[in-house]
Structure 1
Amino acid sequence: MATHTKPADSYSPLYFLASLGAGGVTVSFFMFLMFWVPHKGRPVPIFEDIMAAFSSGSPWMQAAIVTAWIGIAFFAFQNVRLLLWNLSALGRFKQTEAYQKLVQSNAESTLLAMPLALAMTVNAMFIVGLVFVPGLWSVVEYLFPLAMIAFAAIGVLAARLIGRFLGRVLSKGGVFDVTAHNSFAQLLPAFAVSMVAVGFAAPAAMSTTPATVGVSLVLSTILGVTAILYTVLAAASAVSSMLQHGTAREAGPTLMIIVPIVTVLGIMFLRQNHGLHTTLDVHGSDGETMIFLTRLLAIQLAFLGLGWVVLKAQGYFDDFVTGSKTSPGSYALVCPAVALSVMIHFFVNKGLVASGLIAKFGVAYWSVTGLAIIAQIIAIALVLRLGRQHFGHSPVQAVPAE
Structure 2
Amino acid sequence: MKPSHAADHYVPTYFLASLGAGGLSVTFFMYLMFWVPHPGRSVPVFEDILAAWSTGALPMRIGIATAVLGIAVFVFLNLKSLIWNLNAYSAFKKTPRFESLRNSNAESTMLAMPLALAMAVNGLFIAGLVFVPGLWTVVEYLFPLAIIAFAAIGWIALSIIGDFLGRVLAKGGVFDVTAHNSFAQMLPAFALAMIGVGLAAPAAMSTQPWVVGTSLVLSTFFAVASLTYALLALVTAFNSMLHYGTHEEAGPTLLIVIPIVTILSILFMRQDHGLHVFEGHTDAAGTMMFLARMVSLQVIFLGLGLVVLKRQGYFKDFVFGSKTSPGSYALVCPGVALSVLLQFFVNKGLVSAGIIAKFGVTYWAVTALALGFQIAMIVLVFRLNSQHFARTDGADAVPAE
TM-score by structure 1 length? Answer: 0.97
Corresponding residue SS for 2:270? helix
Asked whether the 8 Å contact 1:25–1:338 carries over to 2, the reply is yes
Asked whether the 8 Å contact 2:5–2:393 carries over to 1, the reply is no
With over 3 angstroms needed to count, the CA separation of the structure-2 counterparts of 1:396 and 1:368, relative to structure 1, is: closer
Q: Does 1:290 align with 2:288?
A: yes
Partner AA of 1:71 in structure 2: G
Deviation at 1:5, TM superposition (A): 4.0
Partner AA of 1:161 in structure 2: I
Deviation at 1:41, TM superposition (A): 0.5
1:400 alignment partner in structure 2:
none
Q: How many residues align?
A: 394
Cα distance in 1 for partners of 2:372, 2:86 equals 32
Deviation at 1:228, TM superposition (A): 0.4
Bigger Cα displacement from structure 2, 5-14 vs 181-190: 5-14
Q: Does 1:45 align with 2:37?
A: no
Partner AA of 1:347 in structure 2: F
Partner AA of 1:247 in structure 2: T
1:248 alignment partner in structure 2:
247
Corresponding residue SS for 1:4? coil
Partner AA of 1:390 in structure 2: H
For structure 2, the residue ranges without an aligned partner over 5 or more in a row are: 396-401
Partner AA of 2:306 in structure 1: W
Asked whether the 8 Å contact 2:5–2:392 carries over to 1, the reply is no
2:328 alignment partner in structure 1:
330
Cα distance in 2 for partners of 1:166, 1:203 equals 31
Deviation at 1:393, TM superposition (A): 1.3
Corresponding residue SS for 2:2? strand
2:77 alignment partner in structure 1:
78
1:114 alignment partner in structure 2:
113
1:303 alignment partner in structure 2:
301
Partner AA of 2:352 in structure 1: A
1:354 alignment partner in structure 2:
352
Cα distance in 2 for partners of 1:349, 1:269 equals 16
Partner AA of 1:53 in structure 2: A
1:263 alignment partner in structure 2:
262
Deviation at 1:324, TM superposition (A): 1.0
2:398 alignment partner in structure 1:
none
Cα distance in 2 for partners of 1:165, 1:121 equals 24
1:98 alignment partner in structure 2:
97
Deviation at 1:363, TM superposition (A): 0.1
1:342 alignment partner in structure 2:
340
Q: Does 1:132 align with 2:131?
A: yes
Cα distance in 2 for partners of 1:58, 1:356 equals 25
Deviation at 1:6, TM superposition (A): 2.6
Matches within 5 A, 1:3-402: 4-8=2-6, 9-277=8-276, 279-394=277-392
Cα distance in 2 for partners of 1:226, 1:95 equals 31
Cα distance in 1 for partners of 2:185, 2:312 equals 20
Cα distance in 2 for partners of 1:396, 1:344 equals 37
Cα distance in 2 for partners of 1:395, 1:30 equals 37
Cα distance in 1 for partners of 2:93, 2:215 equals 34
Cα distance in 1 for partners of 2:393, 2:318 equals 19
Partner AA of 1:338 in structure 2: V
Cα distance in 2 for partners of 1:299, 1:175 equals 33
Deviation at 1:283, TM superposition (A): 2.6
Asked whether the 8 Å contact 1:47–1:132 carries over to 2, the reply is yes
Give RMSD over aligned pairs: 1.0
Corresponding residue SS for 1:250? coil
Cα distance in 2 for partners of 1:323, 1:7 equals 15
Deviations 1:255-309 (A, max 9, x none): 00000000000000000000002x0111321001000000000110000111000
Runs of 4+ that moved beyond 4 A: none
Cα distance in 1 for partners of 2:389, 2:375 equals 21
Corresponding residue SS for 2:174? coil
Cα distance in 2 for partners of 1:118, 1:207 equals 23
Cα distance in 1 for partners of 2:281, 2:205 equals 16
Cα distance in 1 for partners of 2:13, 2:393 equals 24
For structure 1, the residue ranges without an aligned partner over 5 or more in a row are: 398-402
Asked whether the 8 Å contact 2:178–2:244 carries over to 1, the reply is yes
Corresponding residue SS for 1:42? coil
Asked whether the 8 Å contact 1:5–1:396 carries over to 2, the reply is no
Asked whether the 8 Å contact 1:252–1:311 carries over to 2, the reply is yes
Cα distance in 2 for partners of 1:83, 1:6 equals 16
Q: Percent identity?
A: 64
TM-score by structure 2 length? Answer: 0.97
Corresponding residue SS for 2:280? coil
Corresponding residue SS for 1:128? helix
Cα distance in 1 for partners of 2:18, 2:222 equals 23
Deviation at 1:396, TM superposition (A): 7.3
Cα distance in 2 for partners of 1:144, 1:12 equals 33
